[in-house]
Amino acid sequence: MKASDIMTRDPACVTPEDSARQAAQLMADHDCGCLTVVDSHGSNKVIGVITDRDIAVRGVARGRGSDTLVRDLMTRDATTCPPEADLKEVERAMSDRQVRRIVVADADGCACGIISQADLARASDRDVSEKDVARVVERISEPARASAKGTDDARSATSRI
């Protein structure tokens, strides 16, 4: 089974120039906790992600208002995978990088989907066992490891699987 088989297609996206309020409203409208950040709505080239946690911790907890720009709150260099990535590769990347979601990007680096740990859990007839899914959830949920880059978010790993 491939990433494209379980991904949520056409994920909601924001640009770095959108506000935290706009991002939060999109999350509410789409019932999600993560948005892909793209360079522009026309191109959809992935440049990062913003989560509800980013808004809370990097924004609200630091006294920033709802007019704060996404660029000031986002996690840059999101972990991505191609649509043809095997689910075992996706699970390994989520575990290794301790991320709950992976953006699916096409060959041009444009967002075409997103996979959450819930998508992995709901996937039927997949090539991985329930035990494997449980292991992924456990590893993702471990306390954050220290970031080699020294950023304030150890989960901001840059890579494409």
Residue 157 confidence class, pLDDT cut points 50, 70, 90:
very low
User: Residue 84: inside a domain, yes or no?
Assistant: yes
Apex 146 CA angle, 161 and 133, nearest 5: 45
In the chain, the number of structural domains is 1
Short-list 89, 80, 87, CA closest to 107 = 80
The 10s digit of each residue's pLDDT in 16-32 is 999 999 999 999 999 99
The 10s digit of each residue's pLDDT in 85-122 is 999 899 899 989 989 999 999 999 999 999 998 888 87
Q: Give the side-chain half-sphere CA count within 13 A for 22.
A: 15
Which pLDDT does position 135 carry in this prediction?
Answer: 65
How many other CB atoms are there within 10 angstroms of residue 161's CB atom? 17
Residue 140 confidence class, pLDDT cut points 50, 70, 90:
low
User: Residue 42: inside a domain, yes or no?
Assistant: yes
User: Residue 72: inside a domain, yes or no?
Assistant: yes
User: Residue 152: inside a domain, yes or no?
Assistant: no
Which pLDDT does position 70 carry in this prediction?
Answer: 98
CATH of the domain at 38: 3.10.580.10
User: Residue 12: inside a domain, yes or no?
Assistant: yes
Domain with 84 in it: 3-143
